[in-house]
């Protein structure tokens, strides 16, 4: 988990500054943030790896590649 400050809102995106040094920017679509977000707000952000989703995506891609390779033969 990390924290970020809402630096500004531009069109449909928020520009966030990762806290401590606030030297790294993240541009995040507004629809992913709370609806009442405003400049100066501090956010707690938690990013988690979706292991099951990753494995399913890999299997789907491998299956598609197999089908493409079998069509060429």
**pTM: predicted TM-score of the whole model, two decimal places:** 0.74
Give the other-Cβ count within 10 Å of 19's Cβ.
15
pLDDT digits (tens, 9 = 90+) for 62-72: 999 998 888 76
Length of the chain: 73
The full set of domains in the chain, from first to last, is: 2-72 (2.40.50)
pLDDT digits (tens, 9 = 90+) for 2-41: 999 999 999 999 999 999 888 899 999 999 999 999 999 9
At residue 15's C-alpha, the angle toward residues 10 and 17, to 5°, is 155
| Interstrand relation of 13-18 and 2-10 (parallel, antiparallel or unpaired) | antiparallel
pLDDT of amino acid 72: 67
């Amino acid at each position: 988990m990390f924290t970020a400050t809402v630096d500004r809102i531009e069109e449909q995106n928020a520009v966030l500054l990762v806290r401590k040094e606030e030297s790294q920017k993240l541009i995040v679509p507004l629809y992913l943030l709370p609806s009442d977000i405003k400049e100066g707000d501090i956010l707690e952000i938690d990013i988690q790896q979706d292991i099951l989703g990753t494995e399913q995506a890999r299997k789907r891609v491998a299956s598609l590649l197999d089908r493409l390779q079998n069509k060429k033969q």
